[in-house]
Structure 1
Amino acid sequence: MRKKVLIVSYYWPPAGGPGVQRWLKFIKYLPDFNIEPIVYIPENPNYPIVDESLLSEVSESLTIIKQPISEPYKLAGLFSKKKTDTISKGIITSDEKQSALEKSLLFIRGNFFIPDARKSWVKPSVVFLENYIKNEGIDTVITTGPPHSLHLIGLQLKKKLNVNWLADFRDPWTTIGYHKQLKLTKSAKNKHLQLERDVLNTADRILVTSHVTKAEFKTKTDKPISVITNGYDVNHIAKPALDSSFTLAHIGSLLSKRNPVILWQVLSDLIAENMDFAKDFKLNLIGFVSEDILKSIEKYNLSNYLNKIGYVSHEEAIIFQKKSQVLLLIEINSPDTRCIIPGKLFEYMVSERPIIALGPDGSDVAEILKETNTGTYFKYADYDALKLQIQAHFDAYKKGALESHGIGLQKYSRKALTKTLAELL
């Protein structure tokens, strides 16, 4: 008899973006390990990104239960749909350039909706799930956040039913970078910290995606913490021809704070110094890009080399990964982002294209790239080394010899990661 596990998630197809991928893939493979997943999601969510193609990955035999959710983003959209949409996507204008309206929306979001804007779903979900869990004989519940309010559903179900509860943190809670932009009052900060402590010290097990987050949480709880990273899934997309130009491609959102000025400087200098580079180079940005990033690109005279493609489906993103000459992975230059391992990293690694990554010192990403021989990691002060690497990639491209040879990638496959999860369950 299969073990039933209830998974509480906000993001689910047709939601797009990175938040949906982790549990979509776990749920895909859990039945292979004699576990029956049951998914609980909102009936009427306000997804900032939609990707209908992901619906094809949901098994027809999967049990999905839904309850309505009330979200303030819909009301806020009456005042400024554009600003509300960008904030809900995580694109926040730099502090000095924020309008009075944007400052007000961020203050309200940060101080009146703790831990987040989906908090109103907690109470009705607990009422509904308490009966459902009893009736279905479920003894294990998994909550995944962000949004971290979903962990409060697990917290209350643990207290009421004493179910086995795993809290999965795709990102940290109080140390995540955007918290500093929410204009939190002292009391709001303290409430976040208290809720975080309650969750970390009540759950039976904590799941995290990076060793940096595990180290942080170990200072806050004695509960067992397991690292299960994100990963890559097998896809059947034919390998496209490589771009004829020397393309550097970034796939995913580029937020205002994620602005690699050192990269724009290096590219600008290489263009000025090398006529061949200037003739062949293209910068492809696939995904949402903030105005601050575009202005920075313009400042370094790169606008004529830019292809701003916008958001694409997950399948299209994989095609871009496979056909680009070099893949860019950009993270905010802050100690708070050392724990961030973007889900796209693992898809990058199996694309057989070299990766150039920029981020803070001590990042988990640097260790993974080194371990798998899939790319090179640079800190924001590494101008000379970054320039030499891009020049070396360009020289290899000109010779038709620009390749990537990853090693030990199998352990990051979605099925291998699901096996690890199943063993914990």
Structure 2
Amino acid sequence: MQKVLIITYYWPPAGGPGVQRWLKFVKYLPEFGYQPIVYIPENPNYPILDKNLLKEVPEGLKILKSPIKEPYRWASLLSKKNTKSISSGIIPEKKPTLVERLLLWIRGNFFIPDARKAWVKPSIAFLSKVLVEEDIKTVITTGPPHSLHLIGMGLKAKYPIQWIADFRDPWTSIGYHKRLKLMASSARKHKTMEHEVLNKADKIITTSETTKQEFEEITKKPIAVITNGYEQIDSSAGMGKAQHFTLSHFGSLLTGRNPESLWTALQELVQENEDFKSALRIQLAGVVGQEVLQSVHAQGLSGFVDELGYLSHQENLKKQQESQILVLLEIDSKETKGIIPGKLFEYLAAKRPILAIGPKYWESAQMVLDTQSGRVFQHNEKDALKTVLLEWFEKYQRGDLGINSKGIEKYHRRSLTEALANFI
């Protein structure tokens, strides 16, 4: 069985979607002839924890660790709240405080490509011995943080290995990149590093066709699109679906994603339809921005909202199956049209109607349509939203609100791992 070294920053007990991808690949790779060895930081500063994920780490998996210097830990002396937000990728969307502006400027200009850059050189030294001792021929780096790709590039320069760079998110084209307060010289450094990684890696993996097309303008190296996915879920878990007409959103819901047209449509339906008013519940799981809550309050919907806070992955899955409608949101921007949230695949597996609101030509929206899993809208389509919500509510009243999705099997984690093994 051929050994494959996987270099990742996010690993249980870290929570959030970034952990799921390689935790599941590692689970299934042995079925396709590859023995994974995972390399992670010994003392990471994870903004979100989900200790239940430790139970999903395959028994007997070899995990290597080495210390990492975490600047976010030092910066927390300035502001624990602001540091934790920026560390988790939540950049303030309204006018940032002085401390936030300072942290963003330091983050963007002194830590290129990101704040985990100090782990690069020690990791190259540590893993150089591992490659020889374990006779490893393939190394996979996954980012963000994109500094991990520099580890792969350093090992590639020293050893005759196959290096595959996995991009869970884009690099310089991701939405928040423009908000890092970059000096012109820093922006050039990011571009130079991105170009170097894409052209020195043997192969590249992206999670969307949009990112693949973007990278094809930079490199001629082989690029495979391997999305995130789902595992088979016990369908009996959702048999007792919520008695209310529940619209549920899972994950961060900040100002950029705020579906103001949805709140307006719901407010009008509440005023016009007494049965709808009696049945409606809005569930928000995860970080919810104050601006979003203010929009909800302005429409008179506060009394219909249940803020669930952060839920474990298993709790998320259960709540998804119990919901009547699953809400999928993205920022209305051309830069986000290639974003495919990991929760989309869990939504598909839950087999509940998906209400998707996002930018024009959104790749996620097309997947919802292709699999016949729900309906899609742009942010300004309030009347169309209202029509479909009423249609779904009437089906809910009759007891036949459901979907008959098609072709979602290709997004199962085992199928995706088979595609990964073939690409290796």
C-alpha displacement at 1:151, in angstroms?
0.5
State the AA in 2 paired with 1:197.
H
What aligned pairs does 1:266-281 form with structure 2 within 5 A after superposition? 266-281=265-280
CA contact (8 A) 2:354 2:373 kept: yes
Aligned equivalent of 1:348: 347
Q: Is 1:255 aligned with 2:254?
A: yes
Code of the residue aligned with 2:418 in structure 1: it is K
- Where do residues 53-64 of structure 1 align in structure 2 (5 Å cutoff)? 53-64=52-63
How far residue 238 of structure 1 moved from its aligned partner, in angstroms, is 3.9
Structure 2 residue matching 1:232: 3-state secondary structure: coil
3-state secondary structure, aligned to 1:28: helix
Question: Quick check: 1:189 aligned with 2:187?
Answer: yes
Instruction: Work out the percentage of aligned pairs sharing the same amino acid.
Output: 53
| Structure 1 equivalent of residue 18 of structure 2 | 19
- Measured against aligned partners, the alpha-carbon deviations of 1:69-93 in whole angstroms (never above 9, x if no partner) come to 1111111111111111122222222
Whether contact under 8 Å (1:93, 1:256) holds in the other structure is no
Tell me, which stretches of 5 or more residues in structure 2 are unaligned? Answer: none
Partner of 2:400: 401
Aligned to 1:336: 335
CA distance in 2, matches of 1:271, 1:99: 37
Deviation larger for 193-202 or 250-259:
250-259
Deviation at 1:395, TM superposition (A): 1.0
Listed one character per residue, the Cα deviations across residues 30-52 of structure 1 (whole Å, up to 9, x for unaligned) are 00111000000000111111111
2:139 is paired with a residue of what secondary structure?
Answer: strand
Tell me the equivalent position of 1:117: 115
Residue by residue over 1:293-326, the C-alpha shift from the partner in whole angstroms, topping out at 9 and shown as x without a partner, is 2122222222111101100111000001000010
Partner of 2:34: 35
Task: Report 1:108-147 matches (<5 A).
Answer: 108-147=106-145
Q: Secondary structure at the match of 2:237?
A: coil
CA pair 402-237 structure 1, distance change in 2 beyond 3 A: closer
Give per-residue Cα distances to partners, 1:332-358, cap 9 Å, x unaligned: 111111111111111101112100011
Distance 2:67 2:257 in 1: 34
User: Shift in Å at residue 376 of structure 1?
Assistant: 1.1
Q: Distance in 1 between matches of 2:106 and 2:6?
A: 30
Which residue matches 2:6? 7
Q: Name the CA distance, whole Å, in 2 between partners of 1:233 and 1:74.
A: 34
Measure the CA separation in 1 of the matches of 2:271 and 2:415.
47
State the Cα deviation string for residues 170-199 of structure 1 (Å, max 9, x = none).
Answer: 000001011122111111111110000000
Distance 2:162 2:103 in 1: 37
Deviation string for 1:260-281 (max 9, x for gaps)? 1111111122212222211111
Please name the residue that 1:163 is paired with: 161
Contact 2:232 2:349 in 1 (8 A): no
- Aligned residue for 2:113, secondary structure, equals coil
1:297-376 to 2 correspondences below 5 Å: 297-376=296-375
**2:228 is equivalent to residue 230 of structure 1:** yes
Partner of residue 290, structure 2: 291
Residue 44 of structure 1 aligns to a residue whose secondary structure is: coil
Partner of 2:386: 387
AA partner of residue 336 (structure 1): E
Task: Tell me if structure 2 keeps the 8 A contact 1:92–1:256.
Answer: no
Q: C-alpha distance in 1, partners of 2:180/2:268? A: 36
Of residues 192, 195, 198, the one that matches 2:196 is 198
- 1:341 partner amino acid: I
Q: Report the equivalent of 1:414.
A: 413
For the 8 Å contact 2:142–2:167, the answer to whether it is kept is yes
Pick which of 54-63 and 254-263 moved more.
254-263
AA in 1 matched with 2:147:
S
| Superposition deviation, residue 236 in structure 1 | 4.0
Distance, in Å, in 1 between the alignment partners of 2:172 and 2:407 is 33
CA distance in 2, matches of 1:89, 1:254: 14
Q: Distance in 2 between matches of 1:126 and 1:377?
A: 45
Counterpart-to-counterpart distance in 1, 2:285 and 2:222: 38
Asked if structure 1 preserves the Cα contact closer than 8 Å seen for 2:40 and 2:64, the reply is yes
CA RMSD of aligned residues (A): 1.1
- Identify which range, 233-242 or 368-377, moves more after superposition: 233-242
CA distance in 1, matches of 2:237, 2:77: 44
User: Deviation string for 1:352-410 (max 9, x for gaps)?
Assistant: 21000111111111221111111111111222211111111111111111111111111
CA distance in 2, matches of 1:262, 1:181: 26
Q: Are the equivalent residues in 2 in contact too, given 1:91–1:290 (CA < 8 A)?
A: no
Q: Provide the TM-score with structure 2 as the length reference.
A: 0.98
Alpha-carbon distance, 1:237 to partner? 7.0
Offset, 1:108:
1.1
1:11 alignment partner, SS class = coil
- The Cα offsets for residues 231-284 of structure 1, whole Å up to 9 and x where unpaired, read as 111234742311111110001111232211111111122212222211111110
Aligned to 1:377: 376
CA contact (8 A) 2:233 2:350 kept: no
Q: In the alignment, residue 132 of structure 2 is paired with which amino acid?
A: K
Residue 177 of structure 2: aligned partner: 179
Task: Supply the distance in 2 between the matched residues of 1:44 and 1:292 (Cα, whole angstroms).
Answer: 34
Instruction: Answer whether contact 1:142 1:154 (CA < 8 A) is retained.
Output: yes
**Change beyond 3 A, Cα 1:176–1:392:** same
- CA–CA distance in 2 between the matches of 1:418 and 1:21? 13
